[in-house]
Structures are given as C-alpha cells and as structure tokens.
Amino acid sequence: MTSRLRAALLGTVAILAVGAGAVAVQPTRSPFIASATAQGVQTAPMSFADVVERVKPAVVSVRVTRSASSEQMSFREMPGRGQDDEEGMNNGQDGQMEQFMRRFGEQFRNDPRFRGDPRFGGPGMPRGPRAASQGSGFFISADGYIVTNNHVVRGATEADIVMDGGRTLKARVVGTDERTDLALLKAEGSDFPFVRFAAAAPRVGDWVLAVGNPFGLGGTVTAGIVSARGRDIGSGPYDDFLQIDAAVNRGNSGGPTFNANGEVIGVNTAIYSPSGGNIGIAFAIPSETTQNVVASLRDNGSVQRGWIGIQIQPVTPEIAESLRLPKPEGALVAGVQQGSPAANADLKPSDVVVAVDGQPVRDARDLTRRIGAARPGANVRLTVMRDGAERTVQLTLGQLPGETSRASLQDGRRDRRGELNRDQAPAAPRLGMSIEPAGRGEGMVVTEVDPSGPAAQRGIRPGDVILDVAGRSVASLRDVREALSAARADGRRSALIRLRSGEGQRFVAIPLNPS
C-alpha cells in the first residue's frame, strides 16, 4: 500500500420487528425498463422517483452535542488485520496489512451554520469547547424507534432528530453496540413514517439507493449498485460489509441503503478514500446483521453475545500443510483462556475448528460471527481437527466479557529487546532470528530478527516468545533444533511455531529447508 488511506465512518442502521399496526411499504412500479440484447433481456434504470418519494420521509438527520474531550474529536486509528480473539483484539501476523482505517465522527464545531446556536457551543452553554456530531438515521417503527451509528451518538444520552420536513424532535439513546457500530434511539410520539428491511439479501450488481445527510445538507439521495459482499475492512471481528458505489460522504453515517423496492438492505457505515470524500467505495452493514443487533438493543439495551474463550487465526496453506489438513479452511485455535467454556471442553492450541453444529466454518472470522450471534447459555457442537483426526466437542456458551474482563495471556516478563547482541544469543537454524531461553521453562524469547529472513517475513519480532515448535514445547535451543529435525524427518515442508506476542498468542508456519 503506497499511502495510508482514511476511512470516514458514515452511517449504520439496524432493524426491529414492527408493531402489529404498522403499514408495510409496498413495492410499486419498477423503476426499470427492459432492453433486448444479444444475451437476453436486461434492465436499465428509468427513474427512482417513486421509491424516493415513499422512503425519504422516514430518513432523519441526527445531531448530537458533546464536549470536545470526547473520543470523537480526534482520529482513532483502526487496528490492522491479524489474529482475532472473541473480544475483537487484533495482533500482528503473516502479511499484516498497513493500518489504513481512521474512525471519526462528523465534526461541525467550526461550521458557520452552527455558530450562535446554543446546542452547538453558542451563548448559554457552559464554558469549554463543544463538538457537534452529525449523522443520519431512519425510523423502523411507527412508534418512534430510530437506527443510527454508535459513533454518531457515542457518549450522548439524547440527540436531536430533524425530520425530512424540518421538524425537530428529541430522542433518547436506547442502547448502543460498539462492536457493530449500531445504535438505537427512541423519539416520543406515534404515526411516524418508517421503512422495513428486505427479506432477501441483495446480489452483486443490484441497484441501490443511499439516503442521508451528507455534510449536513439534509435529505440527499444517491444511486449505485452493490459492488461486493462479505467485505472485511479491518474494523472489528464482525466485519461482513456490503460494498456499494453510491455516493456516500461524511454525514451519511447511520443512513439506510435501499433496494429498488424501497426496502432497507444495509446501513452506510464507512468509506474507503484517500481524501475523506466519496470515490465510489462505501460499506454498509447488512440488514441481517443489524436486525439481530437492534432487536437485542430494544429488548435489553445491550447486546449479549456467545463466548467460548479462545484466540483464533486463519488457516493459511502453509499452516494447513503443517497440520496435514486437506485444505486451508476453518479456524486455528492459538490460545485458550483458563476457566473458559473452551478450556472446560478440552480445546487445545493447534486444534482447528472446521464446523459448528454441522455447518462448515470457512475461516476465523466466520467462527467469530457464528459464536457471537448465538445466545449465552446455548449448547453448541464443534467439529475439531486434532493430530489429523476429526473429533466432536460439546460445550455451553458463556457471555462475551467486557473490555475489562478480557483474558490476560501476558507472560509478565520485561521487554528485553535491545539488551542482547547477536553474538550473545545462538542463532536458531535457518529461521533468520536469534533466540535464548525465556526463563522459568516458558519457551524461547526472540532477541534479534534478520530483516530478510523467513522469521521477519512472517511477522516474528524481537520480544516474541516461542512456546512450541511443531507441537513440541521448547525451553532450549536444542529443543528447537530437535523439533525442526523431527518435522523434516516426518516429511513436512514447514513447521508450525506457536508464539506469544504481548497479550496474544498466534501460530506461524516457517518453511523447512532440506538438511
């Protein structure tokens, strides 16, 4: 990546079940006309005016005032890709992406349109800098429930809602979910215009409409298509975005993306851009994700997610070969938290989870989403590959801990980088790094790394601790050599090394050169 790209977090939306008296938006005349081609009958856009007329009254502007010390007053760099645990931690790994996302709220504190307005730091407000965040949202029920982004209302208990006709209402924050960047608001009243979510997921190439409040301009409509599905943009463990090319900019945060029938298919939440403006790459949270989150926010004020207490990472082709797996699929267990459901079920590092309740697991993020979508207390059946054999593990899900309850895998040692010279630490064979015993029989600490060697190419850094090599615990250079020799003798082309880096554990596959 030649330059660091910024992602302007834009809208998010969730869905709720609508009351019995709600009136559904019924599709009308399709905004397309057919045209005959050599390949058959295709569709071309004629007009979206009928759809816009029906859905636009349900889309609102969301305005929140907070102190300038709020987290949203500055850019916050998103983590790069790496090993995932169920709490959403990301650590470095092979091929780690350049950190490219900068999360922010749309700040209009210095906008001349807001000067003198007491809601945005004008006369009558307490002294001290104030910040105004603007985004979008939409009604999902006639009794006043509104979906928007968490980052639009973060730190606030209420917000001002400006409807399409200019009417301003107060709305309280019912609940927020930082992990999916969704929030649910409630305005007092009844008979609000609202929209429904689509029953079916869109296909790549389907036409879409984005409606929102870009740059504080009020209800704005843009059109495009679904460019891709299942995008992982590195913002968290539950990434599964729709990519659209409709123009989405700052202030669209929390706004809906509609299909051609006026049904919500997603919530605009991020853009991919070197300038912070639209370049035709925007991301929306799919409706199937937001429905579950918002329903939980409405019922409980928070989201409860299943948890099993493991750190996981993707299975690369090299790792698959090292573990004798038929293909690089599933989620590799890198660490197990003591006392967790996984520990009680005897899951172990180097296990590969390949199915949940009989449904195949594509990769590590697929497992994270599956477990996170399940309710705490639910019983699940995991299919696990261990030592080349398949086994079934039954466990009961716990509840995902908060930030302060994360599993601590810290080894408690001092950072020893820079304390040793290369000639003071023996070199591990063919790995391109220098190591020495970490002490207390806790593995081998990496003291130096050759920038052009295999270890550096796979993200191994000074200060990492090698816990085991090819499934063998190591506490000396001799242990490492013997483990590598055994892997070669076993006909393996690479050896799997388990590392502890800071508070996390991960696996890397190091190629084995012939003796």
Kindly tell me if the per-residue pLDDT of 192 is higher than 50. yes
Burial class, 115, CB count within 10 angstroms (exposed 0-12 / middle 13-18 / buried 19+): exposed
* Distance between CA atoms of residues 209 and 226, nearest Å: 10
How much is the average pLDDT of 458-468?
A: 87
Confidence of residue 126 (pLDDT cuts 50, 70, 90): very low
Active site residue 141: no
Confidence of residue 182 (pLDDT cuts 50, 70, 90): very high
**What confidence score (pLDDT) does residue 341 get?**
93
Kindly tell me if the per-residue pLDDT of 5 is higher than 50. no
How much is the average pLDDT of 346-374?
A: 90
Between 43 and 152, the more confident residue is 152
CATH architecture of 306-405: Roll (2.30)
Kindly tell me if the per-residue pLDDT of 426 is higher than 70. no
Question: Which one of the listed residues 61, 70, 253, 340 is annotated catalytic?
Answer: 253
Kindly tell me if the per-residue pLDDT of 16 is higher than 80. no
CA within 13 Å, CB half, 190:
3
Question: Which one of the listed residues 85, 181, 366, 464 is annotated catalytic?
Answer: 181
Confidence of residue 449 (pLDDT cuts 50, 70, 90): confident
pTM over 0.85: no
CATH architecture of 196-300: Beta Barrel (2.40)
How much is the average pLDDT of 203-225?
A: 91
* Distance between CA atoms of residues 509 and 495, nearest Å: 5
- Least confident among 88-92, 229-233, 406-410, 470-474: 406-410
- Fill in the DSSP letter of residue 273: B
Active site residue 151: yes
Kindly tell me if the per-residue pLDDT of 32 is higher than 50. no
Cα dist from 117 to 67, 132, 169, whole Å: 15, 11, 16
User: Which one of 123-127, 163-167, 373-377 scores highest in mean pLDDT?
Assistant: 163-167
Name 384's Cβ contacts closer than 8 Å, sequence gap at least 6. Answer: 347, 351, 352, 353, 354, 390, 391, 392, 393
Residue matched to tokens 């506490």: 475
Between 386 and 437, the more confident residue is 386
Strand partners, 335: 311
Active site residue 363: no
Question: Which one of the listed residues 133, 141, 151, 479 is annotated catalytic?
Answer: 151
**What confidence score (pLDDT) does residue 132 get?**
63
**What confidence score (pLDDT) does residue 34 get?**
40
Strand partners, 506: 499
Contact 352, 315 (CB under 8 A): yes
Between 276 and 270, the more confident residue is 270
Kindly tell me if the per-residue pLDDT of 157 is higher than 60. yes
Burial class, 226, CB count within 10 angstroms (exposed 0-12 / middle 13-18 / buried 19+): buried
Q: 422-511: same fold as 306-405?
A: yes
- Least confident among 121-130, 136-145, 359-368: 121-130
Kindly tell me if the per-residue pLDDT of 503 is higher than 90. no
Q: What is the 3-state secondary structure (H, E, C) of 275-327?
A: CCCCCCCEEEEEHHHHHHHHHHHHHHCCCCCEECCEEEEECCHHHHHHCCCCC
Contact 101, 75 (CB under 8 A): no
Kindly tell me if the per-residue pLDDT of 321 is higher than 60. yes
- Look up residue 415 and give its two tokens: 């950072």
Kindly tell me if the per-residue pLDDT of 2 is higher than 90. no
Confidence of residue 218 (pLDDT cuts 50, 70, 90): confident
Kindly tell me if the per-residue pLDDT of 112 is higher than 90. no
**What confidence score (pLDDT) does residue 45 get?**
62
**What confidence score (pLDDT) does residue 57 get?**
96
Kindly tell me if the per-residue pLDDT of 9 is higher than 70. no
How much is the average pLDDT of 488-509?
A: 83
Residue matched to tokens 């810290």: 410
* Distance between CA atoms of residues 350 and 364, nearest Å: 13
**What confidence score (pLDDT) does residue 131 get?**
53
Per cent of the chain over pLDDT 70 is 72
Kindly tell me if the per-residue pLDDT of 473 is higher than 90. no
Least Cα distance to 317 among 331, 326, 328 occurs for 328
Confidence of residue 27 (pLDDT cuts 50, 70, 90): very low
Contact 224, 246 (CB under 8 A): yes
* DSSP per residue, 167-234: -EEEEEEEEEETTTTEEEEEES-S------B-SSPPPTT-EEEEEE-GGG--SEEEEEEEEEEEE--S
What value does the mean pLDDT of the chain take? 75
How much is the average pLDDT of 30-52?
A: 59
290 backbone dihedrals φ, ψ, rounded to 5°: -70, -30
Residue spans per domain, the chain: 196-300, 306-405, 422-511
- The separation between the first and the last C-alpha atoms of the chain, rounded to the nearest angstrom, is 37
Least Cα distance to 132 among 145, 114, 146 occurs for 114
Q: What is the 3-state secondary structure (H, E, C) of 397-417?
A: CEECCCHHHCCCCCCCCCCCC
* Distance between CA atoms of residues 139 and 195, nearest Å: 7
Q: Does domain 422-511 have CATH number 2.30.42.10?
A: yes
